[in-house]
């Protein structure tokens, strides 16, 4: 028995067993990584599809100001797509890449539009506010030039109250009070991104494959058919 344990055959057998175990562990890790990646990608696609129901090419920013719409706030396809080289053909890979690219283009256009709207609104707000306050100051200055000394405290109080009331009302930055302006370029870019965007990718053959991979329970389970 001791001779067998010290034999080259036994050493080779142990090496083979260790190598086989390491290979199985490696394959299990790869399988788990791909399964997790598929689940993440599927979730991102399904959430994007839900957001797509809120916009269309005619009114790409219809929900802006009432609710922030982002199709793909987190994008994982470029990070994980190398794991699926044997699961999708070129056409299917391109479909997923195109979906992510168009979602990203829409989100960029929406962010640009919102930043322009906010900046222009703030600029208009400041200009108009200063103009009205300047008119109030001029009126107050004209009044005190001809007013009696006893009337000055009352005039000053009225002037301060008038300014305060105006700033309180006009300075309200709620979206219902803001001056809004939708620039053309971001809206056109958003509409262009929405055109030909597959709104039900998760229900196509590509989506079915992703779901199958995400729900695989066995290490050497059969791959989804192409």
**pLDDT tens digits, one per residue of 208-225:** 999 999 987 654 444 554
The pLDDT of 93-111, averaged and rounded, is 92
Helix axes 8-52, 205-214, angle to 10 degrees: 130
Q: Tokens representing 179? A: 């001056």
CA 69/CA 57 separation, integer angstroms = 14
What average pLDDT does the chain have? 79
Residue 3 predicted with pLDDT over 70: no
User: The tokens 């790869």 sit on which residue?
Assistant: 30
The pLDDT of 111-139, averaged and rounded, is 75
**pLDDT tens digits, one per residue of 66-96:** 457 889 999 999 999 999 989 999 999 999 9
H-type alpha helices, the chain: 2-5, 8-52, 77-80, 90-146, 152-170, 184-194, 205-214
pTM over 0.75: no
Domain locations along the chain: 2-214
């Amino acid at each position: 028995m001791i001779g067998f344990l010290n034999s080259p055959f036994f050493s080779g057998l142990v090496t083979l067993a260790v190598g086989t175990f390491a290979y199985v562990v490696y394959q299990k890790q790869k399988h788990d990584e791909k399964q997790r990646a598929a689940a993440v990608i599927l979730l991102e696609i399904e959430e994007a599809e839900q957001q797509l129901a809120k916009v269309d090419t005619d009114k790409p920013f219809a929900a802006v100001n009432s609710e922030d719409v982002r199709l793909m706030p987190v994008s994982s396809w470029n990070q994980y797509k190398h794991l699926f080289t044997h699961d999708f053909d070129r056409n299917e890979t391109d479909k997923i890449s195109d979906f992510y690219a168009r979602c990203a283009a829409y989100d960029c256009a929406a962010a640009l539009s919102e930043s322009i709207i906010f900046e222009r609104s703030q600029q208009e707000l400041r200009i108009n506010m200063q103009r009205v306050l300047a008119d109030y100051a001029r009126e107050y200055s004209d009044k005190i030039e001809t007013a009696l000394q006893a009337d000055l405290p009352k005039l000053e109080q009225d002037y301060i109250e008038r300014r305060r009331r105006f700033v309180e009302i006009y300075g309200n930055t709620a979206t219902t009070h803001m001056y809004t302006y939708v620039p053309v370029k971001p809206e056109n870019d958003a509409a262009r991104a929405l055109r030909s965007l597959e709104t039900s990718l998760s229900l196509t053959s590509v989506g079915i494959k992703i779901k199958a991979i995400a729900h695989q329970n066995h290490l050497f389970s059969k791959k989804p058919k192409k």
